[in-house]
Amino acid sequence: MTDAVADLSALSEKLGVDIDPELLVLALTHRSFAYEHGQIPHNERLEFLGDSVLGQAVTVRLYTEHPDLDEGSLAKRRASVVSTVALAEVARGLGLGRFIRLGRGEQLTGGDDKDSILADTTEALIGATYLSAGPDAATALVLRLIEPLLADPDRYGAAVDPKTSLQELAASLSFAAPLYRVDATGPDHARVFTATVTVGEVTTAGTGSSKKHAEMAAALQAWHALSGR
């Protein structure tokens, strides 16, 4: 068994599902890698599918498990576990970063630990599971992955809307409104945004594939720093 095959087997074991090897490789192929290797297929279609499967599985679970919650509360809980930040946390728990196929530019800028790339790849893996093993297996995978998030009551705050939560926390501490700065690097097909936010004496940074995602990542880091969590 080659190292590459062994790695894929190890990932399948972590996921607890047998994914078709070709689909598994596709799910792990970022567009930056595809661009550098002759425009081969990448994982964004699988990501699109996985996002839908994820949303449905979480929605049904919350609806059936919490008959006492109204629509707004259910939506807030769903958002807390399907956000980019939450899915990146799931991906890090799996050690997913080392399996993702990235272009050289993304490798040099730490793409294997960027929230947006980790979250997108997690969704692509869910999509690959749906195609390989069917809807029931895909739903079961989603529920295994997000169960720890659903059980964490602290998640229903800052992780849902980090920028608003940070602004509210800053106001409660009598600080000025958070000040953001965003820079972008890399080619158009693999743009990387880095945001810094300053609140009081705290300055934190975050990265993402869009300005919005970078600012959210930076805001969540600042919220944790200021709240002591």
Q: Would you name the residues annotated as active-site residues?
A: 51, 123
Please tell me what DSSP assigns to residue 190: G
Strands 192-199 and 179-185, sheet pairing: antiparallel
Give ∠ CA 7-9-14 in degrees, rounded to 5. Answer: 95
Tokens of 186: 């890399």
| AA identity, residue 134 | G
* Exposure string for 100-124, b = 16+ CB within 10 A, e = fewer: bbbbebbeebebbbbbbbbbbbbbb
Give ∠ CA 130-58-161 in degrees, rounded to 5. Answer: 120
How far apart, in whole angstroms, are the C-alpha atoms of residue 43 and residue 157?
30
Q: What residues does 193 pair with on adjacent strands?
A: 184, 208
How far apart, in whole angstroms, are the C-alpha atoms of residue 24 and residue 18?
9
| AA identity, residue 189 | H
